[in-house]
Structure 1
Amino acid sequence: MTTSPAVDPSASADRLLGTPLWQHQVDLVRSPARYRVVCAGRQVGKSRTLAVLALHEASTKRDALVLIVSAGEAASKRLLEDCAALALASPLLRGSVLDESKSQLTLSNGSRILSVPASQRQIRGWSVDLLIIDEAAFIDAEIWRAAEPAIIARPGSRVVLCSTPWGSADHFFRQLWRRGMDAPDEMVAAWHWPSSVSPLVDAALLEHWRDTWPAREFATEVMAEWVDDSGAYFSTAELDAAATVEAMVLPVDGASAGGVVGGVDWGFSRDANALTVLAARPELDDRGRRRFWVPYVREAFGLAYDDWIDELAETASGFTFERLVCESNGVGAMPSMVLAKRFAQGGLRDVVEPVTTTAVLKETAFGWARVLLAQGRLALPREPSLLKQLRALEFEQLASGGMRIAVPDRSGHDDVAMSFCLALHGALAADVPEGWEGGEVVGSTDDVLAQDDTYDALEWAVDYGDGGGWDRW
């Protein structure tokens, strides 16, 4: 039976957008449930499905409002870009696109698609026809409570929540998904999309992964299942408890965070360039100890080093960097030198600090993070790239007595986790316990290059001084 694109999102995908949906996607978009909830693995077409739903709602109704809420700023931009790309590629829809910006797509029928990061300030006050929550498992319950009432005043309004598995059993996404799986009805229905649902999946490769990946990683990333934390350096529970930063601070407002320390990881091959900013809270905890938080995280794929250096320089015009610690291993040596020169030319002569990332540095920095998490002195944003990569960190006790901490290659990227590690290294001296100095064990020579040795080895053209103002923290 033929159905009209006006009433069937699947038909919209076929005729208006020219992108036929796969069967598991059709089942979702045709569901009449008020709340539709999807737990998904890798490469199952989640983003495309959400874009099709958003465009169908906006293109088939006058003055409709679709609100997309994403866990991170980058994700919110990416999903709106998917919507715009589909509309502009459609001969039937491209003429109806009146306005396209980073946060809004407006059609000639008066309908709009808004995409915003998870922030109560940006969510409250809207009355929407379709509410889409992307990476819902990473969104705080207070954000959900602020977003959900947006559908109450629009007849026939609905909600779609999608995410990879994350968080505790009492998180709203997991509870809704469990309800929809156990007893689907006209109010709530749920779907489980492991990677195997995709018709493009290589079955032989999938079985190879099943045999060679650790069970925990395979279950989470491929099978889209919640698992325990055995083998993980950071537990889901402690990361979830620390993820209390409602909205990240954009560089334009960076001065509000006060003096900060940054960590830069240089991307190579499939990895991204990454920056993590770490700041100190003005208020001490009840024992008089300094408290820390992460106001900003940036992960940039496919960005040339020159463009990344330009962005870092622009970021420094907003944030007040006391130190910017850059990885100088391998490909990081030359771009770190160029970045240091760029900062020096801009009057920030003693800010950039290149370091060699070693097992000892990672053990020290991540170990300090565990202490801060245990003491409730570190607040993280609910940024999926940061939380996922920290959760993917595994540890191995070495015969020498040290520890190897890394995101396994099979688990994906580690760029944001490493930029966080470098920021921690740069800030450690602000919370340094007796017997430690500059983030390293006093007297230890365990393959950690001293700061001056690092500069000499790279033949820095600029005299960087002694690390600038970090000790004022």
Structure 2
Amino acid sequence: MTTYSPATDPGAFADVLLGEPMWDYQLAFARSSARFRVVAAGRQVGKSRTLAKVSLFEASTRAGILILVVSAGEEAAKRLLADCVALASRSELLRGSIIDDGKSLLTLSNGSTIRSVPASIRQIRGWPVDLLIIDEAGFIDNEIWDAALPAIISRPGSRVVVASSPWGSSEHWYRQLWARGMDAPNENYESWQWSSYNSPLADKALLDELKASRTAEWFAREVMGEFTEDSGAFFGQAELMDAVADYELCAPEDLEWWSDRRYAAAGGVDWGYAHDANALTLVSVLEDYGLNRGLLGNKLVLFIPWFEYKYRWAYTDFIERVVETGKRYYLPVVASEVNGVGQYPTTMLGDKFAEARLFPAVAPVVTDIRRKQSGFGMIKGLLQSKRLVLPRDPELLKQLRGLEFEQLPGGSMRISVPDRVGHDDVAMSFMQAVSALRLDGAVRPHEVFGNAVPVPVDLETVMTKNGLTIPVHARPVAFHRDAFSYPKGSESGEGW
């Protein structure tokens, strides 16, 4: 029987030092010596956790190396490094070797560093890297991959680890790299496909039930870890990715003092039940300093300045968080669902806003077929007219991609994430916020007459694939209140 040492084997390292053994399919990936290792993964297979264990093994057993972890979005980058810190902190032997455990940096006493950054060219360039780890690679553009790849050139023996849920067209770098390692594995390229069935924790009977009751396209992508096309999806992958930009989400606590610059946004809230999360999404008019006038004329760009979702939070705690957000952002209207479990927290939210002397219109809304058709149809129209920018966040993008549509006999359309297929809380809160927009109000009168806000001399910008220019430190238009209204389809106010 082969005996493995934690000093030389990632499996023994995870078992002995971290107290969290890897499963067989994870071990095959972790022990591979291929220079490029690529995984396409279904749900609940431990993808991100495995990346954290591989990162810690390399950093702990090799002195003075740099591991760069690139994730699709700032929050995803922080979560992956937090996994590394949590695993190391649980280990009696590793805990004492931690010198620095910030949100984006983990430094060990042997001089090795794990640095986590969001997927943007400006964050990636310039690092000489011994191990490059890219999480949710399908959501990362070809241009960013081209910027990241040179990071390993100057380091002998450098390696690249790439993992993602299946996402991206046949021209996307991640899909091509994965196919290369599947079709002709060798010492340089090796790939794996992790199905949800592989996990020892998987409920095989439930997976079989999903196979019988869900579309073949969804089951192949979400369970089997296979690449699929857009059949049955309300939003296509390319349609979503064309609107993505690497701008920084603005947490309420990071805003400039609100009395100086009141940033207005429409809020949408989805209340979780059982396995779902409570979710809040804000949608606003982007301050682009007229940089998109050549593309859109006097029509302004809409974007998501902030969203968040919390699992296993009491309604009272999440309500307090929404109210705190309303103390920084100016929220003229908050659309809050009342069907399901939403009636009580929606009423309580209005009461708490009043107690804080904040007076947004908390609009109780029933999320029925017609409301979904109108709200998601509006999002689709904004995407097609190049007026909406999305953050590079895998959870938001996967939830939007998971929406399926069905034409009903009466002519209406059912749009939903199928039951037990996954979460839709963020997508639903996004739809609620969009329903409170008034597009004819999203025009600044002073700009119509040519009095544009001057472009700051040090402004950093990024672009979407469809040609929109976005400030990296994105903010809503200051004092803009005319783009928001009581949503249609609400319990009171405008009907359909």
TM-score range, shorter chain: 0.7 to 0.9
Any residues of structure 2 matched to 1:383-398 within 5 Å, and which?
383-398=393-408
2:117 matched to 1:116? yes
Q: What secondary structure sits across from 1:126 in the alignment? A: coil
- What RMSD over aligned residues (CA atoms) do the two structures have, in Å? 2.6
Structure 1 match to 2:107: 106
Amino acid at match of 2:426: V
User: What is the aligned partner in structure 1 of residue 39 from structure 2?
Assistant: 38
SS at structure 1 position matched to 2:335 = strand
Instruction: Provide closer, same or farther for how the CA distance between residues 363 and 206 of structure 1 changes in structure 2, counting only shifts above 3 A.
Output: closer
Q: 1:344 to 1:121 in 2, by over 3 A?
A: farther
Deviation of the 1:382 alpha carbon: 1.8
Q: Specify the code of the residue in structure 1 equivalent to 2:134.
A: I
Matched, 1:275 2:285: no
- From 298, 304, 310, give the equivalent of 2:314: 304
Q: Does 1:225 align with 2:226?
A: yes
> Are residue 329 (structure 1) and residue 371 (structure 2) matched?
no
Distance change (3 Å), C-alpha of 1:40 and 1:319: same
TM superposition shift of 1:327: 1.8
Gaps of 5+ in 1: 441-446, 454-473
Mapped contact 1:165–1:225 kept (Cα < 8 A)? yes
**SS state at 1:185 partner:** coil
TM-aligned CA distance change 1:262 to 1:148, over 3 Å: farther
Other-structure match for 1:412: 422
The 5 A counterparts of 1:385-464 are 385-430=395-440, 440=488, 449-451=491-493
Rounded Cα–Cα distance in structure 2 between residues aligned with 1:56 and 1:342: 48
Deviations 1:265-318 (A, max 9, x none): 122211101122212234444354332222322121122222222322333344
Structure 1: how far apart are the matches of 2:329 and 2:159?
39
Question: 1:311-390, aligned counterparts within 5 Å?
Answer: 311-390=321-400
Q: Matches of 2:36 and 2:440 in 1, distance apart?
A: 47
Shift of 1:358: 2.6
Please report the TM-score for the alignment, with normalisation by the length of structure 2: 0.82
- C-alpha spacing 1:264/1:89, structure 2 compared with 1 (3 Å): same
SS in 1 for 2:296: coil
Give 1 or 2: higher helix fraction.
Answer: 1
Residue of structure 1 in register with 2:478 after alignment: none
Give the Cα–Cα distance (whole angstroms) in 2 for the partners of residues 338 and 154 of structure 1: 57
1:240, 1:49 → 2: CA distance? 27
Which structure exhibits the higher relative contact order, with contacts defined as CA atoms closer than 8 Å and separated by 6 or more residues? 2
1:463 matched residue in structure 2: none
Distance 2:262 2:386 in 1: 19
Report how many aligned residue pairs link the two structures: 443
SS in 1 for 2:420: helix
Shift of 1:51: 1.4
CA contact (8 A) 1:292 1:378 kept: yes
Paired residue secondary structure (2:143): helix
> What's the offset of the Cα at 1:448?
5.1
SS in 2 for 1:159: strand
Tell me if structure 2 keeps the 8 A contact 1:118–1:246.
no
CA contact 1:104–1:113 (8 Å) conserved in 2: yes
Tell me, in whole angstroms, the C-alpha distance in 2 between the residues paired with 1:428 and 1:360.
18
Call closer, same or farther: CA 1:308–1:203 in 2, change over 3 Å: closer
SS in 2 for 1:380: strand
CA distance in 2, matches of 1:430, 1:268: 35
Q: Indicate the percent of aligned positions where both proteins have the same amino acid.
A: 52
Contact 1:358–1:448 (CA<8 Å) still a contact in 2? no
Q: Per-residue CA shift, 1:399-423, capped at 9, x if unaligned?
A: 4432221111131111011011011
Aligned-partner SS, 1:360: helix
Q: Is the 8 A contact 1:271 1:413 kept in 2?
A: yes
1:79-90 correspondence runs (5 A): 79-90=80-91
Name the aligned partner's letter for residue 299 of structure 2: R
Over 3 Å counting, the alpha-carbon distance change for 1:286 and 1:42 in structure 2 is closer
2:154 corresponds to which residue? 153
Please state how far the C-alpha of 1:264 moved relative to its aligned partner.
1.4
Preserved CA contact (<8 Å) 1:68 1:134: yes
* AA partner of residue 450 (structure 1): S
